[in-house]
Amino acid sequence: MHKRTLLQTAAALALLGASGLAMAQDNVFKIGLILPMTGQQATTGRQIEAAARLWMAQNGDTVAGKKVQLILKDDTSVPDVTRRLAQELVVNEKVNVLAGFGITPSALAVAPIATQSKTPLVVMAAATSSITEASPYVVRTSFTLPQAAVAMADWAPRNGIKNVVTLVTDYGPGLDAERFFKSRFEFNGGKVPEALRVPLRNPDFAPFLQKVRDLKPDALFVFVPSGAGAAVMKQFGERGMDKAGIRLIGTGDVTDDDQLNDMGDVALGVVTSHHYSAYHQSAANKKFVAEFQKANKGMRPNFMAVGGYDGMRVIYEALKKTGGKGGGDALLAAMKGQIFESPRGPVFIDAQTRDVVHNIYLRKVEKKDGQLHNVEFDVIKDVKDPGKTK
Ligand code: VNL
């Protein structure tokens, strides 16, 4: 009799334990954050992780009664690794959302997994136009290269720049930057005598810059991914290209706020087009920058950080709206059409394309309070991705 009761109690406890665990599972909302935390793109991972953690520190980790759990994985920016990690996160961890993705090949590698498992995939960094078309579950909070490149192709010819050599990193975003800059610039009457491409892995800019020096265009238009700008700037200066009268222009990736302040005087006067500057003069941005720096030993947030921060907002808002019910499809639907004020300015997640619509700013590197900054001097409002085919 006594024995039976004990057994029963044990069984009841085991049952309770199991259901308690299931309940705990149900009350957790998991975000699988895949980023390059080591290797060539590590600065992008560091910026986005810091921004995601800042968002959670500011907004709490309980949303719609659920405990939000961030599961960070380092893909070293190798697409096969990204794919394996995403698979594990979906199958074993049963994450509700996949997020991050430092480079285009990583985002593209995971798109089929998002489609198959109906898991929203929030792209916080990668910026090739076509990524949103790789899966109906992709939502992007970073930017697209065509958005930025077209703005520069309109600005340059109105400012005495008629002859431009392009230099881009030879993969998705670079090819987008080259194509959209060149076709718009030529449409505006400009000439592009050479389009140079450097490899993504361990690029050596020296031979390319030597070639540019010999060609002597009015300007060199550059796209390199975040983290590579300082090397370009250094070599540009060492070859005396600025002294030879060749201007440097590009998308804002080259004057990345993560590195800009250490680039030295050669960066002064460089004009770029982009969606975010840490020097953006709004109350929302001043608060963002101050709190980001406070939480990260003074590190200045760059455009990657803002992509991560806004991505977290989009996820939080979707979770609030759905109460976590209805799975990936409901969550995705609640991400579409969101409008909010980002540190970059107004942002809209286009419900049709699931891509980000935002302002593109023209900025010039200037010294402000002893620090180098991208100082905005013009704006093109509410820019949709010109790269979309539909
Ligand atoms: C990409 C685009 C990566 C722009 C970047 O930095 C960037 C990409 C890592 O799509 O791979 O600045």
The 10s digit of each residue's pLDDT in 139-170 is 999 999 999 999 999 999 999 999 999 999 99
Q: What is the mean pLDDT of the chain?
A: 94
Closest CA to 28 of 65, 67, 70, 60: 67
pLDDT at 294: 98
Using N-to-C axis directions, what is the helix angle for 303-322 and 42-59, rounded to 10°? 40
Ligand 1 and 253: CB distance under 6 A: yes
Confidence class of residue 388 from pLDDT cuts 50, 70 and 90? confident
pLDDT digit string (tens) for 185-241?
999 999 999 999 999 999 999 999 999 999 999 999 999 999 999 999 999 999 999
Q: Is residue 374 predicted with pLDDT exceeding 80?
A: yes
> 139 with 314: CB under 8 angstroms?
yes
> 147 with 188: CB under 8 angstroms?
no
CA distance 245 to 255: 19
Q: At 245, list the tokens.
A: 């009268």
41 Cα nearest atom in ligand 1: 9
Ligand 1 and 43: CB distance under 6 A: no
pTM: 0.94
Ligand 1 and 229: CB distance under 6 A: no
Confidence class of residue 97 from pLDDT cuts 50, 70 and 90? very high
Confidence class of residue 1 from pLDDT cuts 50, 70 and 90? very low
Confidence class of residue 274 from pLDDT cuts 50, 70 and 90? very high
Q: How far is the CA of 333 from the centre of ligand 1 (A)?
A: 26
Q: At 159, list the tokens.
A: 């400012």
CA distance 242 to 265: 11
172 Cα nearest atom in ligand 1: 10
Q: What is the CA radius of gyration of the chain?
A: 23
Please work out, in degrees rounded to the nearest 5, the angle formed at the alpha carbon of residue 225 by the alpha carbons of 224 and 227.
105
CA distance 73 to 75: 6
Ligand 1 and 108: CB distance under 6 A: no
Average pLDDT on 87-106 reads: 98
Q: How far is the CA of 223 from the centre of ligand 1 (A)?
A: 9
Ligand 1 and 252: CB distance under 6 A: no
Q: How far is the CA of 231 from the centre of ligand 1 (A)?
A: 16
Largest CA distance in the chain: 98
Closest CA to 258 of 273, 278, 239: 278
Ligand 1 and 44: CB distance under 6 A: yes
Q: How many CB atoms lie within 10 A of CB 84?
A: 14
Location of structure tokens 């960070």: 72
E-strand ranges in 52-202 read 62-63, 66-74, 97-100, 121-123, 138-140, 164-169, 195-198
CA distance 97 to 90: 9
pLDDT at 366: 98
**Phi-psi sector, 297: left (phi>0), alpha (psi -120 to 50), beta:** left
> 54 with 312: CB under 8 angstroms?
no
131 Cα nearest atom in ligand 1: 10
Q: Give, for ligand 1, the residue of 103, 138, 141 to mutate: max count of ligand atoms closer than 8 Å to Cβ.
A: 103
Q: Give, for ligand 1, the residue of 37, 143, 176, 253 to mutate: max count of ligand atoms closer than 8 Å to Cβ.
A: 253
pLDDT at 304: 99
Q: How far is CA 73 from CA 76, 114, 241, 254, 350, in A?
A: 9, 17, 41, 27, 28
pLDDT digit string (tens) for 281-315?
999 999 999 999 999 999 999 999 999 999 999 99
Q: How far is CA 79 from CA 87, 313, 317, in A?
A: 12, 26, 29
Q: How far is the CA of 175 from the centre of ligand 1 (A)?
A: 12
Q: How many CB atoms lie within 10 A of CB 199?
A: 10
Kindly compute the dihedral angle of the four CA atoms of residues 283, 363, 377, 375, in this order, to the nearest 10 degrees.
50
Average pLDDT on 322-331 reads: 95
> 368 with 158: CB under 8 angstroms?
no
Ligand 1 and 219: CB distance under 6 A: no
Q: How far is the CA of 190 from the centre of ligand 1 (A)?
A: 26
> 202 with 224: CB under 8 angstroms?
no
pLDDT digit string (tens) for 45-70?
999 999 999 999 999 999 999 999 99
Average pLDDT on 2-21 reads: 53
Ligand 1 and 102: CB distance under 6 A: yes
pLDDT at 26: 77
Burial class (CB in 10 A: 0-12, 13-18, 19+), 24: exposed
Q: How many CB atoms lie within 10 A of CB 284?
A: 14
Q: Whose CA is nearest to atom 5 of ligand 1?
A: 225
Average pLDDT on 112-129 reads: 98
CA distance 207 to 53: 41
Q: Give the helix, strand, coil percentages of the chain, each rounded to 5.
A: 45, 25, 30
> 383 with 355: CB under 8 angstroms?
no
Q: Whose CA is nearest to atom 11 of ligand 1?
A: 103
251 Cα nearest atom in ligand 1: 12
Ligand 1 and 126: CB distance under 6 A: yes
Average pLDDT on 63-80 reads: 98
Q: Which of 6-20, 95-109, 157-171, 262-276 is predicted least confidently?
A: 6-20
Please report, rounded to a whole number, the percentage of residues in the chain having pLDDT higher than 90. Answer: 92
